[in-house]
Every structure is written in structure tokens, then in C-alpha cells.
Amino acid sequence: MKTTTLYISAACLFDERGRLLLVRKRNTRFFMLPGGKHEPGEDALTALRRELLEELELQLDAAALQPLGQFNAPAANEADTWVQADIYRAVLPHEVQAAAELEELRWLDTTLPLPDDLAPLLRQQVLPALQRLS
């Protein structure tokens, strides 16, 4: 069976208390970082800024988004699919709310035990990378 790779950009967005914003798309189980797939011809940062505007009605300057790295993991909601993700981090300038295909927002305190419903990319790659920074 052929495996598909999705190219995505996502953001670790932190509130003033240091909690990480997670999102869950409609009709899915797993929580993940806000962001999404690159459109043809888009670079990672352009794709991320477009997705944040669509999903959270959040406009961030490119300078506010600091690169964390590029990571690969099994896709949370699609069989036989991997994601290659460009991950950035930023501090949220104001509150946000779910828009577009988002069903739910959740704040994650990374100092507490992790819930069972985190996407593989977040659990296996991004959270350990964030821990290495602190």
C-alpha cells in the first residue's frame, strides 16, 4: 500500500501563562497544533499565516513566528499518511476562537501528565522539542 506525505505548517501558540493552544477539527478525535496543509506554491510560513487566519482569525507578523524545526510523524486522522511539518512558535497577542473546520480549542499545561488524545506529531516530536528548549 502506498503511503502519502502531507506537507503542513503548524504553530505552538502560548498564552501569558505558558499554556499551549491545541485544536480539534470537526469529526476527528485527536488534538493537534493549529495549522494545515500547504497550498501549491506556498512556502511554510505563508501557509501557516493563512491557516491561522482561517482557523483562528489570528493575524501574526512573520517576525512573531520563530522556527522550532521540521518534523515527521504518522498523520493523526488519515490512514497510510505521514505529515512533514514545519513547526513555529509564538506568543498569542490576544484571545482566539475556533473558526473554519475547528470544532474545539484546548489549553495544554505541558507540566502536567499528557492526555491520551494528542496527535502523534505533537506527542512524539513537538513536545519533546519544546522540552529541550526549556
For the entire predicted model, the pTM comes to 0.94
The CATH number of whichever domain residue 79 belongs to comes to 3.90.79.10
Give the pLDDT confidence score for residue 64 in this predicted structure.
Answer: 96
85 is in which domain, residue-wise?
A: 4-133
Give residue 127's identity as a one-letter amino acid code. L
Task: Give the chain's domain count.
Answer: 1
Q: How far is CA 94 from the centre of its chain?
A: 18
Model confidence pLDDT, tens digit, residues 73-118: 999 988 899 999 999 999 999 999 999 999 999 999 998 999 999 9
**Which helix (DSSP H) or strand (DSSP E) does residue 8 occupy?**
strand 4-14
Non-local CB neighbours of 38 within 8 Å, separated by 6+ positions:
7, 8, 9, 44, 47
Neighbours of 45 (CB within 10 A): 15
